[in-house]
Amino acid sequence: MTATAQPLPGQCHRQVVEVRAEVVAGVRHDVGAYVRLWGYGELAEAAALCASELLSNVGKHTDSVTCVLTLERRSRGVRVTVSDSSGKLPVVQEPDWGAEGGRGLLVVAGVADAWGAAPTGEGKDVWVELRVEAERPRACGERTGLPPQLLDAALYFAPGGAEDVERDLRCTLEAHDTGDHHALVLDLPDPAGALWASWARGGAPAAVLVLPDCPAVCPTAGTPCCEFAAHPGAHTWQLTP
Ligand SMILES: [Zn+2]
Ligand SMILES: [Zn+2]
């Protein structure tokens, strides 16, 4: 007899759910319990909420009277899938705030790290992924002051005067063991970039320099990176605030 690969016990939970409000409320509770059991307590409430919204959607938008709920434990979180017999894929609609409930997918989209829908042979799957926050690198945070002669140099670029010039300097790069520290001194109008001071370990800033902005933009939030172009280390939004 040869051993065959089996799913890890306890890493997946699947159940048939009757789509009725009182049943959905009970399932919501169960989902939270499973997610806690798997060690993702911080995701329990969101997973329960997503599961109940997905199940409610089956009742509202399809003729299915039952559907299948699948909960899977992933390495950094959980995945909730609701499979029903309707091939009609869901769409996120503008909320009707006056209506009772009906926020469904809008709620899910706001809570989930990722979600999607896919047709299956018998209908469709709507799934949601919730992930625990990854350990983020920290910012350097090294501090120094802007020497008086560099304040004079910076004022040359500052039409608004000394008020716009940052004199308490703090390195915002990802924590680093080598290379110079960098701190923003003055933001310049687009597309000029910004005025930066750099300094060696244990030294003081000796010059200010104009550097172009890092062109990277956070793919989820759409916020730009606050560093200079080609900076070392992670982008602003990847660091622990
Ligand atoms: Zn630094
Ligand atoms: Zn960047």
- pLDDT tens, position by position, 158-203: 988 889 999 999 999 999 999 999 999 999 988 889 999 999 998 9
> How far is Cα 81 from Cα 207, in angstroms, rounded to an integer?
57
Structural domains of the chain ordered from first start: 12-131 (3.30.565.10), 143-238 (no CATH)
Most confident of 38-42, 62-66, 125-129, 234-238: 125-129
> Quick one: average pLDDT of 115-121?
91
Q: Which residues have a beta carbon within 5 Å of ligand 1, which is an ion?
A: 140, 142, 171, 173, 181
- State residue 135's pLDDT score: 65
Query: How many angstroms is it from 10 CA to the middle of ligand 2?
Result: 41
Q: Which-ligand-closest: CA of 142?
A: 1
How many whole angstroms from 131 Cα to the centroid of ligand 2?
24
Distance of CA 70 to the CA centre of its chain: 23
Core vs surface per residue 128-141: b (16+ CB within 10 A) or e: bbbbbeeeeeebbe
Separation of 47 CA from ligand 2 center, angstroms? 32
The alpha carbon of 131 and the centre of ligand 1 are apart by a number of angstroms equal to: 30
State in Å: Cα 31 to ligand 1 middle: 44
Q: What is the pTM of this model?
A: 0.53
